[in-house]
Structure 1
């Protein structure tokens, strides 16, 4: 190989290596543990082999980068439900003894928090008597603190007085121990809650497809779980899951009743609807036919009017703007009949009748035609009296009547009468 060719090949090889290094800079260290392995070259120093192997190495790096991008994109598209289930699945379940230990820690933490509140209340009471510089606004806040025994931060005490109060609080090991117990109690409550998140998921699955998404059901169930944690009494001897199930179910069912419908229905009415549907199912299974209103009244003890009201409540609402199909631009409202709108067939008949009348009236003279239009309201739908027409044409009412009769006699010609009679029969049949 001549020197010029060798120098060109060497430059291409260096450019390929520079390009590979720039590609590797885009990748994270966690995705490629050893980037140099992708560029490892077992060839000798021959310039021709270096030129041939630069391209495969570049393809390897590009493929690795594409795999990394696809992995990141797949993570972004991952179902949030699966992510949530995977995370809560990592938390170990508790035994009955573990639940009792956590409940005891929560109870001790609650007592410790109350003890701290008592200490703060006593110091606040003493400070209220001694400090004459308290403003009128601060004194009611201090009195409220003493009365309720709450922590100072929870009662919005002014920052100046809170600083004075903090100087008076005893800095003893007992107080530090109480604060530690409060922290342990909070941690125990969190642990008891997190360890039972899978219980919420198992219960939420039973209420799917009832108007709320699965994640919403889980969220509402978690709120019921937190309430169960606050009210759990380990002294009764039952497992926490047995107690929490009822709180979780109540939270989910209340959320479905309150949020699943566009128009909210009271909870007691929802329960009545469920009872009525249960009676209907049992009747159909035993008799093979749908029950009548009288049958439902006998079986449920409700009046027929109340049953009708319950059935109307059980109907779901739908938006008229909802698309009728996936690719069609038509909405649901486009396919609902408007009872106030006229029939297209009738409107067509009226249009042809109007044209036929216009052709028939064209055979009359101008005054006869105008008098008939005014007397029968053929143009605006408002008939005029003989007096109104006589004033318009400056003639007597009797003369108007005579002209009207004469014009009608002309329209009774057999050729015109047969055509108009046919339209009249069609309109009467449509009505």
Structure 2
């Protein structure tokens, strides 16, 4: 399966993948098609992942890849503000997705969508680091004229300066006015272009500083955190745990264990205080505080097992 966008092509190297997405020549059609791909259930995902891991089943790998193509499109959309083609971002993300599918272990207890996000974003970040520039220097005819003349004219102003006088790196008001008149452009355009040429590039990922401390660049906040897929998935998982998950896990406990867990961890009084302490529960049931702690520990383990389904 492949698609073309200008000079961009995306190919998924899978054997006999689902035939729901035919060869396409339009990026919008591709996105529409992948958004209609069926999503896998937990059981299906586990089945295909085990077939790939144990039998090297490439058809199963294709189904895992194709069912997550919409995730790549969603992640790529968060990086559109940096001047790079959407199709190229999707292509790099698809490479990361295929790497994730190849390395995915179904026995680790996590969904492929969570595991794949790291690989998808890693490939996109690498692409951005290699191809994106903070400043697009000249995009219009007037800006190109300024670009090719500003440096030479600045050198001329320096040469005209009196001997022994230190010339400023930035243009004076008079020099700006003179340059704008000679090039027949607006004063504001001269100021803007000088700022662009003086700014230089900014490293997206500066890495550790000389003193060993971590330093941060734009790579740390390229995507919109509010719409970042990982945050959205985590939010949905928290909602499920807070509703269906907790209720289901508590239903697995006997009445005494359930009350102990609720009093110790779930109850909040009007004044903001919690429920009963170990000693208060021990006095209520006529046992030691250590026995209450043991019951609580066993109940927590049982609940953790029940909550694994919602992870």
- The verdict on a shared fold, with TM-score over 0.5 as the criterion, is no
- Shorter-chain TM range is 0.3 to 0.5
- The structure with more radius of gyration: 1
Calculate the TM-score normalised by the size of structure 2: 0.40
Calculate the TM-score normalised by the size of structure 1: 0.29
More helix by share: 1
Whose RCO is larger (CA < 8 A, sep 6+)? 2
